[in-house]
Amino acid sequence: MRRLLLLLVTAAAVSTALAATGSAAAAPSRTGPLETAAGAAGKASSYSYKLAMTLSSPGAPTPLTINVTGIAQRSPQTVQMTMDMTELMAASGAPAAYGRYTMIKTTTASGPVFYLSGGVFKQLLTAGRTWAKVNGTAYAKAAGGDLAKQLSNGADIGSFLDVLKAAGAAVTEVGKEKVGTTAATRYKVVVGVDRMLAAQGASAADAAKQTANYRTKTVTYAVWLDGKERPVRMKLSLPIQSSGQKIDEEIDMTIGDYGSAKRIDVPADSLAKDITAALAANAKKSAG
């Protein structure tokens, strides 16, 4: 069971290749709802979002859910995300509190900087410091990994829709529906897994390797746009496989507060402890 739970955590990280942020590689663009929605989301000064990720497997007694709430702002480009993985932690025998943390990612002239508070990161802090700080560029050089992907960092909705567009996704209008109290139009979006990965910049070899993690060749999204053609909900289901274990994942995300989301306060350095070197060393040790 413990091995299965670790696979579920891995699956959640793997799935970000199809559900997380990323810039579209050069490709012929297609006009239509995706292009309009990407532009509308990309121009928004801020927005908030909520995401529920449910993981289930024949070998697990009950489905496990990861909940995420976040805010994204355009200037300065910053994302704040609170991750709740307490169900996974508790089921694996680890302290449930380890699974709840807050991350702030801000973009500086020298690259991304991450601030982490709560959860397992709390153990790394010293008196008077409430945030752990990681230099993303230095971490990547030392550990050879992308910290943003490892932490499943938030959502850049505009960039994600650009990826779908660049991948040549087929879009079909389904009809008028409500998302909460918001009137919206629902669209069906179908895209090939290999084309999605390629649009995110993966090489042919990497795309082929990552495609093997999915028990499907295409992914179908449901996307809802409001009257201003801004995305207000996105939903998808992913059949995944990890180390021979079949895992089904469902992601349901709602977006709102366009232009009026709470402003993100980046922690002062006096409140942060730099853990870049320690985190990179641990990552390399685990990989080895």
Taking only the tens place, the pLDDT of each residue in 86-113 is 988 888 888 888 889 999 999 888 888 9
Rama region for 165: left / alpha / beta (φ>0; ψ in -120 to 50; rest): alpha
**Please, where are the H alpha helices in 151-216?**
157-166, 193-199, 204-211
Instruction: Say what the pLDDT of residue 159 is.
Output: 81
How much helix, strand and coil, in percent to the nearest 5, is found in the chain?
A: 35, 40, 30
On the question of pLDDT at 26 being above 50, the answer is no
User: Which run of H or of E encompasses 92?
Assistant: helix 86-92
How far is residue 156's CA from residue 49's CA, in Å, rounded to a whole number?
10
Taking the domains of the chain in order of start, what are their residue ranges?
Answer: 2-287
How far is residue 197's CA from residue 192's CA, in Å, rounded to a whole number?
9
- Output 245 or 151, whichever has higher pLDDT: 245
Tell the burial category of 109 from Cβ atoms under 10 Å away from its Cβ (0-12, 13-18, 19+).
exposed
pTM reported for the whole predicted model: 0.82
Residue 127: phi, psi to the nearest 5? -55, 135
Compute and round to an integer the Cα radius of gyration of the chain.
19
Least confidently predicted of 26-40, 124-138, 264-278: 26-40
For the chain, the maximum distance between any two Cα atoms, rounded to a whole number of angstroms, is 55
pLDDT in tens, 158-190: 888 888 888 888 999 999 999 999 999 999 999
Tokens of 55: 């993981």
pLDDT in tens, 47-68: 999 999 998 888 777 898 999 9
Q: Which fold has domain 2-287?
A: outer membrane lipoprotein receptor (LolB), chain A (2.50.20)
How far is residue 282's CA from residue 240's CA, in Å, rounded to a whole number?
27
Would you place residue 149 in the very low, low, confident or very high pLDDT band (cuts 50, 70, 90)?
A: low
- Output 182 or 147, whichever has higher pLDDT: 182
